[in-house]
Amino acid sequence: MVYGPVVHHINDLDGLNTSNERIRDIAFGKAKHGCPLTGVFLWVDVRDLALAHVLAMEKPEAAGQRFLVSPGHYSNKDIVKGIWEAFPELREGLPMGDALTPGAFPPEGWYGYDSTKSKKVLGVTYRPLKECIIDTVNSLKTFVK
């Protein structure tokens, strides 16, 4: 999933891309009674992804290669935790207790990944999830009336 602050023009929060809809729904109470299933357990901040694209074009050693651009695993439960810690004013609308269960990692585990090549060849340094969530929620708050 690609998350990150909204910098393009949208009229309201209904104009969001699918990835950021998930953060919107969690942050602003739509998921209070049931955290959405995570589905895809890898994520990247849109700013890091954009930088990786630029670096892939600029670095000759990146020519013809493919890169997995992701800092790692996450779950929707991690998004809830980040919002809980950073935005006390939004806590009342967050899923809690059993409502968090669907957003957790599956008990049978999840798939692996290796983004070492994006770090070594491109030199990408990834933002932590919490920073991405804070910046995204702050950008979304500008549309809440």
Over range 53-75, report the average pLDDT.
97
Amino acid 46 reads V
- The predicted-structure confidence for 102-144, as pLDDT tens digits, reads as follows 898 888 888 889 999 999 999 999 999 999 999 999 999 988 7
- The predicted-structure confidence for 3-23, as pLDDT tens digits, reads as follows 999 877 777 777 677 788 999
59: which DSSP letter?
A: -
Instruction: Please state the pTM of the whole predicted model.
Output: 0.91
- Topology adopted by domain 2-142: Rossmann fold (3.40.50)
Q: Which sequence spans correspond to the domains of the chain?
A: 2-142
> Residue 85, by phi and psi: left (phi above 0), alpha (psi -120 to 50) or beta?
alpha
- CB of 79 closer than 8 Å to CB of 33: no
- Which of 32, 13, 140, 39 has its CA nearest to residue 80? 32
